[in-house]
Protein backbone atom coordinates (compact mmCIF):
# COMPACT_ATOMS: atom_id res chain seq x y z
CA UNK A 1 0.00 0.00 0.00
CA UNK A 2 1.22 3.54 -0.75
CA UNK A 3 2.21 5.67 2.22
CA UNK A 4 2.65 9.30 3.17
CA UNK A 5 3.38 10.96 6.51
CA UNK A 6 0.55 11.48 9.02
CA UNK A 7 1.42 15.10 9.77
CA UNK A 8 3.78 17.78 8.49
CA UNK A 9 7.34 17.97 9.81
CA UNK A 10 9.68 20.96 9.63
CA UNK A 11 13.45 21.34 9.43
CA UNK A 12 15.43 24.54 9.91
CA UNK A 13 19.11 24.94 9.10
CA UNK A 14 21.49 26.19 6.43
CA UNK A 15 22.47 25.01 2.98
CA UNK A 16 25.79 23.19 2.91
CA UNK A 17 27.21 25.05 -0.09
CA UNK A 18 25.53 28.45 0.15
CA UNK A 19 25.44 28.81 3.93
CA UNK A 20 22.06 30.50 3.47
CA UNK A 21 19.24 29.87 5.99
CA UNK A 22 16.84 27.21 4.75
CA UNK A 23 13.59 25.70 5.99
CA UNK A 24 12.00 22.53 4.62
CA UNK A 25 8.53 21.27 5.49
CA UNK A 26 7.43 17.77 4.48
CA UNK A 27 3.67 17.65 3.99
CA UNK A 28 1.37 14.66 3.42
CA UNK A 29 0.26 13.94 -0.16
CA UNK A 30 -2.25 11.55 -1.69
CA UNK A 31 -1.68 8.33 -3.62
CA UNK A 32 0.05 8.78 -6.96
CA UNK A 33 1.41 12.23 -6.08
CA UNK A 34 5.01 11.07 -5.79
CA UNK A 35 7.73 13.22 -4.21
CA UNK A 36 7.62 16.89 -5.26
CA UNK A 37 9.71 19.88 -4.12
CA UNK A 38 8.18 23.37 -4.05
CA UNK A 39 10.27 26.56 -3.75
CA UNK A 40 7.97 28.75 -1.66
CA UNK A 41 10.29 31.74 -1.99
CA UNK A 42 9.83 31.88 -5.76
CA UNK A 43 6.06 32.12 -5.86
CA UNK A 44 3.41 29.98 -7.52
CA UNK A 45 4.56 30.86 -11.04
CA UNK A 46 7.88 29.06 -10.60
CA UNK A 47 6.11 25.71 -10.50
CA UNK A 48 6.91 22.54 -8.65
CA UNK A 49 10.00 20.37 -9.07
CA UNK A 50 9.26 16.64 -9.29
CA UNK A 51 11.88 14.40 -7.66
CA UNK A 52 12.77 12.60 -10.89
CA UNK A 53 15.92 11.52 -12.68
CA UNK A 54 15.12 13.65 -15.73
CA UNK A 55 15.00 16.80 -13.58
CA UNK A 56 18.62 16.38 -12.46
CA UNK A 57 21.13 19.05 -13.45
CA UNK A 58 24.30 17.09 -12.81
CA UNK A 59 26.74 18.40 -10.23
CA UNK A 60 29.79 16.68 -8.71
CA UNK A 61 29.07 17.88 -5.16
CA UNK A 62 25.36 17.18 -4.66
CA UNK A 63 22.13 16.29 -6.44
CA UNK A 64 20.42 19.35 -7.94
CA UNK A 65 16.98 19.36 -9.54
CA UNK A 66 15.67 22.03 -11.89
CA UNK A 67 12.34 22.37 -13.68
CA UNK A 68 11.49 23.90 -17.04
CA UNK A 69 10.86 27.31 -15.48
CA UNK A 70 14.32 27.51 -13.93
CA UNK A 71 13.27 26.74 -10.34
CA UNK A 72 15.94 24.59 -8.70
CA UNK A 73 16.66 22.79 -5.44
CA UNK A 74 20.03 21.37 -4.38
CA UNK A 75 21.36 18.78 -1.93
CA UNK A 76 18.19 16.67 -2.04
CA UNK A 77 19.97 13.31 -1.69
CA UNK A 78 19.90 12.93 2.12
CA UNK A 79 16.21 13.79 2.39
CA UNK A 80 15.42 11.55 -0.57
CA UNK A 81 17.30 8.69 1.12
CA UNK A 82 15.27 9.23 4.28
CA UNK A 83 11.98 9.18 2.37
CA UNK A 84 12.90 6.03 0.44
CA UNK A 85 14.40 4.34 3.50
CA UNK A 86 11.28 5.03 5.57
CA UNK A 87 8.96 3.83 2.81
CA UNK A 88 7.34 7.21 2.03
CA UNK A 89 5.91 7.14 -1.50
CA UNK A 90 4.10 10.48 -1.61
CA UNK A 91 5.04 13.85 -0.11
CA UNK A 92 5.21 17.57 -0.88
CA UNK A 93 8.38 19.26 0.36
CA UNK A 94 8.13 23.03 0.66
CA UNK A 95 11.51 24.77 0.79
CA UNK A 96 12.29 28.43 1.46
CA UNK A 97 15.59 28.55 -0.44
CA UNK A 98 17.80 26.86 -3.05
CA UNK A 99 19.08 24.08 -0.76
CA UNK A 100 17.71 21.49 1.62
CA UNK A 101 19.08 22.10 5.16
CA UNK A 102 22.24 20.03 5.64
CA UNK A 103 21.36 19.13 9.26
CA UNK A 104 24.18 16.97 10.70
CA UNK A 105 25.32 15.78 7.25
CA UNK A 106 23.43 12.49 7.51
CA UNK A 107 19.79 11.47 7.08
CA UNK A 108 19.14 10.76 10.76
CA UNK A 109 17.31 14.02 11.54
CA UNK A 110 14.94 13.51 8.63
CA UNK A 111 14.39 9.85 9.51
CA UNK A 112 13.67 10.61 13.17
CA UNK A 113 11.08 13.28 12.30
CA UNK A 114 9.37 11.15 9.63
CA UNK A 115 9.04 8.12 11.88
CA UNK A 116 7.96 10.25 14.84
CA UNK A 117 5.19 11.76 12.72
CA UNK A 118 4.14 8.28 11.63
CA UNK A 119 3.01 6.98 8.27
CA UNK A 120 -0.46 7.07 6.75
CA UNK A 121 -1.25 3.99 4.68
CA UNK A 122 -3.69 4.18 1.76
CA UNK A 123 -5.46 1.40 -0.10
CA UNK A 124 -3.66 2.27 -3.33
CA UNK A 125 -1.22 -0.46 -4.40
CA UNK A 126 2.51 0.22 -4.52
CA UNK A 127 4.22 -0.01 -7.88
CA UNK A 128 7.92 -0.78 -8.21
CA UNK A 129 10.54 -0.62 -10.94
CA UNK A 130 11.95 -4.09 -11.54
CA UNK A 131 15.34 -4.33 -13.28
CA UNK A 132 15.24 -6.99 -16.00
CA UNK A 133 18.80 -7.02 -17.32
CA UNK A 134 22.19 -5.53 -16.37
CA UNK A 135 22.81 -1.87 -17.19
CA UNK A 136 26.21 -0.31 -16.56
CA UNK A 137 27.81 3.12 -16.97
CA UNK A 138 31.41 4.27 -16.47
CA UNK A 139 33.41 7.45 -16.14
CA UNK A 140 37.12 6.68 -16.02
CA UNK A 141 37.75 4.38 -13.03
CA UNK A 142 34.24 4.97 -11.67
CA UNK A 143 31.44 2.50 -12.38
CA UNK A 144 27.75 2.13 -11.53
CA UNK A 145 25.64 -0.89 -12.43
CA UNK A 146 22.10 -2.21 -11.93
CA UNK A 147 21.25 -5.88 -12.38
CA UNK A 148 18.17 -7.99 -11.58
CA UNK A 149 17.36 -8.92 -7.99
CA UNK A 150 14.18 -9.64 -6.05
CA UNK A 151 14.81 -6.77 -3.62
CA UNK A 152 17.07 -3.70 -3.51
CA UNK A 153 20.71 -4.48 -2.80
CA UNK A 154 23.26 -1.68 -2.56
CA UNK A 155 26.93 -2.55 -2.93
CA UNK A 156 29.61 0.13 -2.85
CA UNK A 157 33.39 0.34 -2.84
CA UNK A 158 35.65 3.37 -2.39
CA UNK A 159 39.41 3.86 -2.48
CA UNK A 160 41.13 6.98 -1.10
CA UNK A 161 44.79 7.79 -0.57
CA UNK A 162 44.01 9.17 2.88
CA UNK A 163 44.95 6.42 5.34
CA UNK A 164 42.02 7.29 7.60
CA UNK A 165 39.66 6.31 4.75
CA UNK A 166 41.61 3.87 2.58
CA UNK A 167 39.69 1.13 0.73
CA UNK A 168 36.21 0.28 1.98
CA UNK A 169 33.49 -2.00 0.62
CA UNK A 170 30.02 -2.85 1.88
CA UNK A 171 26.93 -4.74 0.68
CA UNK A 172 23.49 -4.36 2.27
CA UNK A 173 19.98 -5.56 1.55
CA UNK A 174 17.73 -2.51 1.95
CA UNK A 175 14.73 -4.55 3.18
CA UNK A 176 13.39 -4.62 6.74
CA UNK A 177 14.59 -1.21 7.91
CA UNK A 178 18.21 -1.85 6.99
CA UNK A 179 18.69 1.74 5.80
CA UNK A 180 17.53 3.22 9.10
CA UNK A 181 19.67 0.89 11.21
CA UNK A 182 22.83 0.73 9.09
CA UNK A 183 23.12 3.88 6.97
CA UNK A 184 20.92 6.74 8.16
CA UNK A 185 23.39 8.18 10.70
CA UNK A 186 26.43 8.20 8.39
CA UNK A 187 27.59 11.73 7.58
CA UNK A 188 28.90 13.32 4.44
CA UNK A 189 32.70 13.43 4.36
CA UNK A 190 35.52 15.20 2.60
CA UNK A 191 39.27 15.71 2.66
CA UNK A 192 40.70 18.83 4.23
CA UNK A 193 42.39 19.81 0.96
CA UNK A 194 39.01 19.63 -0.79
CA UNK A 195 37.36 21.75 1.91
CA UNK A 196 40.04 24.40 1.53
CA UNK A 197 39.56 24.42 -2.25
CA UNK A 198 35.76 24.67 -1.98
CA UNK A 199 35.95 27.53 0.50
CA UNK A 200 38.37 29.35 -1.79
CA UNK A 201 35.77 29.04 -4.56
CA UNK A 202 32.87 30.24 -2.43
CA UNK A 203 31.41 26.78 -1.78
CA UNK A 204 30.73 24.81 1.43
CA UNK A 205 29.86 28.07 3.21
CA UNK A 206 27.45 26.18 5.47
CA UNK A 207 29.90 23.38 6.27
CA UNK A 208 31.13 22.85 9.82
CA UNK A 209 33.29 19.80 10.59
CA UNK A 210 31.96 19.70 14.12
CA UNK A 211 28.31 19.76 13.06
CA UNK A 212 27.58 18.44 9.58
CA UNK A 213 30.57 16.72 7.98
CA UNK A 214 33.48 14.42 8.67
CA UNK A 215 36.80 15.88 7.54
CA UNK A 216 39.86 13.70 6.91
CA UNK A 217 43.49 14.77 6.59
CA UNK A 218 45.81 11.87 5.78
CA UNK A 219 45.62 9.46 8.70
CA UNK A 220 43.64 11.86 10.90
CA UNK A 221 39.92 12.40 11.48
CA UNK A 222 39.62 16.12 12.20
CA UNK A 223 35.98 16.17 13.26
CA UNK A 224 35.36 16.25 17.03
CA UNK A 225 34.08 12.93 18.32
CA UNK A 226 35.58 10.95 15.47
CA UNK A 227 33.59 8.46 13.40
CA UNK A 228 30.18 6.97 14.08
CA UNK A 229 31.20 3.81 12.20
CA UNK A 230 34.67 2.57 11.30
CA UNK A 231 33.48 2.50 7.68
CA UNK A 232 31.32 5.64 7.82
CA UNK A 233 32.54 6.96 4.44
CA UNK A 234 31.36 3.97 2.39
CA UNK A 235 28.12 3.87 4.37
CA UNK A 236 27.47 7.50 3.47
CA UNK A 237 28.16 6.75 -0.19
CA UNK A 238 25.49 4.05 0.03
CA UNK A 239 23.12 6.55 1.65
CA UNK A 240 23.70 8.94 -1.26
CA UNK A 241 23.12 6.14 -3.76
CA UNK A 242 19.78 5.24 -2.19
CA UNK A 243 18.68 8.89 -2.34
CA UNK A 244 19.73 9.21 -5.96
CA UNK A 245 18.01 5.93 -6.89
CA UNK A 246 14.87 7.38 -5.31
CA UNK A 247 14.73 9.73 -8.30
CA UNK A 248 13.62 6.75 -10.41
CA UNK A 249 10.16 7.77 -9.18
CA UNK A 250 9.31 4.28 -7.91
CA UNK A 251 10.99 1.85 -5.50
CA UNK A 252 13.72 -0.06 -7.33
CA UNK A 253 14.04 -3.84 -7.30
CA UNK A 254 17.60 -4.58 -8.38
CA UNK A 255 21.22 -4.89 -7.34
CA UNK A 256 23.03 -1.54 -7.45
CA UNK A 257 26.83 -1.67 -7.57
CA UNK A 258 28.90 1.50 -7.27
CA UNK A 259 32.66 1.74 -7.52
CA UNK A 260 34.02 5.24 -6.89
CA UNK A 261 30.64 6.41 -8.13
CA UNK A 262 29.03 9.76 -7.32
CA UNK A 263 25.75 11.58 -7.85
CA UNK A 264 26.29 12.25 -11.55
CA UNK A 265 27.20 8.64 -12.36
CA UNK A 266 24.13 7.26 -10.57
CA UNK A 267 22.04 9.68 -12.61
CA UNK A 268 23.81 8.46 -15.76
CA UNK A 269 22.77 4.95 -14.71
CA UNK A 270 19.10 5.86 -14.37
CA UNK A 271 19.18 7.61 -17.73
CA UNK A 272 20.71 4.49 -19.32
CA UNK A 273 18.12 2.27 -17.60
CA UNK A 274 15.16 4.27 -18.90
CA UNK A 275 16.71 4.64 -22.36
CA UNK A 276 16.55 0.85 -22.84
CA UNK A 277 12.91 -0.26 -23.06
CA UNK A 278 13.92 -3.85 -22.28
CA UNK A 279 15.94 -3.05 -19.17
CA UNK A 280 13.12 -2.61 -16.63
CA UNK A 281 9.39 -2.91 -16.08
CA UNK A 282 6.82 -1.40 -13.73
CA UNK A 283 5.13 -4.00 -11.53
CA UNK A 284 2.29 -3.78 -9.03
CA UNK A 285 3.54 -5.19 -5.75
CA UNK A 286 1.69 -7.97 -3.97
CA UNK A 287 2.00 -8.22 -0.19
CA UNK A 288 5.13 -10.38 -0.34
CA UNK A 289 6.90 -8.04 -2.76
CA UNK A 290 5.86 -4.91 -0.84
CA UNK A 291 7.32 -6.39 2.35
CA UNK A 292 10.74 -6.50 0.65
CA UNK A 293 10.77 -2.79 -0.24
CA UNK A 294 12.94 -0.31 1.70
CA UNK A 295 11.12 1.02 4.74
CA UNK A 296 8.54 -1.75 5.00
CA UNK A 297 7.83 -2.32 8.70
CA UNK A 298 10.44 0.14 9.97
CA UNK A 299 9.82 1.92 13.28
CA UNK A 300 11.45 4.69 15.30
CA UNK A 301 13.06 2.24 17.74
CA UNK A 302 15.44 1.15 14.98
CA UNK A 303 17.15 4.55 14.72
CA UNK A 304 20.67 4.25 16.17
CA UNK A 305 21.71 6.60 18.94
CA UNK A 306 24.50 8.98 17.86
CA UNK A 307 26.81 11.24 19.80
Instruction: Tell me if 71 sits within 8 A of 47, measured CB to CB.
Output: yes
The whole-model pTM stands at 0.94
pLDDT digits (tens, 9 = 90+) for 156-194: 999 999 999 999 999 999 998 899 999 999 999 988 877
Q: Which residues are catalytic?
A: 263
Those residues with Cβ within 8 angstroms of residue 77's Cβ, 6 or more apart along the chain or in another chain: 62, 63, 239, 240, 243, 244, 263
pLDDT digits (tens, 9 = 90+) for 202-261: 655 555 555 788 999 999 998 888 999 999 999 999 999 999 999 999 999 999 999 999
DSSP 260: S
How crowded is residue 300: how many other Cβ atoms within 10 Å of its Cβ? Answer: 15
pLDDT digits (tens, 9 = 90+) for 134-149: 999 999 999 999 999 9
Q: Residue 215 phi/psi, 5° resolution?
A: -110, 130
Q: Which domains does the chain have, with CATH numbers?
A: 3-121 (3.30.230.20), 127-302 (3.30.1700.10)
Those residues with Cβ within 8 angstroms of residue 161's Cβ, 6 or more apart along the chain or in another chain: none
Amino acid sequence: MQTTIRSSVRFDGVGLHSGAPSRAVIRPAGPGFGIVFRRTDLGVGAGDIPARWDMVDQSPLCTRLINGKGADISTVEHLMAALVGCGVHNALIEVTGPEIPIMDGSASGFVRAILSAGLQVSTAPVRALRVLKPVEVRRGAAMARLSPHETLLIEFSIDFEDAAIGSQRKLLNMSNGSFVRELSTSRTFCRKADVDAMLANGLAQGGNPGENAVVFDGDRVLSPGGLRHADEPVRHKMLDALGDLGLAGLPVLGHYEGRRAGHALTNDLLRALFADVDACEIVECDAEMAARLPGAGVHAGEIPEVA
